[in-house]
Amino acid sequence: MNIIESKFKTVLTYGTFDLLHYGHLEILRKASLLGDKLIVGVSTDKFNTIKGKTCVLPYQKRKDLLKSIEYVDKVIPEDNWDQKVTDIQDNNIDIFIMGDDWEGKFDELKKFCQVIYLPRTKGISSTKLKSILDD
């Protein structure tokens, strides 16, 4: 790595990003401000089934939506819980970001990169939106 490359930081975050909303945009915006490149891992439909989640939008639509956001530089599939170390190494990640509802759950990644838990946007979540739509 040369001196110019070492000044750039790559950030990684993950999520399902179903019913994309303001809270998602805020965490992506804040994550993007911490580095020069933001990579987003998006849970695949198969992985969501394993997690017991049902999505309104299929994986490809969620991926396309994220790719259209100016803060996002690259979208990768999240197929399983254990791929994070490989993704960090393969993408030269400097900073791993998750919402503070995951506080402490990814601390084992600190041996590979910096881990930061960002505060969630109050008053909005995909779960809340789904419950409104179901009413």
Taking only the tens place, the pLDDT of each residue in 67-96 is 999 999 999 999 999 999 999 999 999 999
Mean of the pLDDT values across residues 50-57? Answer: 90
Residue pair 24/17 in contact (Cβ under 8 Å)? The answer is yes
Mark whether 9 is an active-site residue.
Answer: no
Catalytic residue of the set 46, 53, 110, 128: 53
Mean of the pLDDT values across residues 107-127? Answer: 82
Long-range contacts of the stretch 53-56 (C-beta < 8 A, 24+): 53/16, 53/18, 55/16, 55/18, 56/18, 56/19, 56/130
Dist CA 61 CA 88 (whole Å)? 24
Q: What is the CATH number of domain 8-134?
A: 3.40.50.620
Mark whether 51 is an active-site residue.
Answer: yes
Residue type, 128: K
For residue 50, list its beta bridge partners: none
Catalytic residue of the set 30, 37, 51, 61: 51
Residue pair 77/66 in contact (Cβ under 8 Å)? The answer is no
The pLDDT confidence band at residue 22, using thresholds 50, 70 and 90, is confident
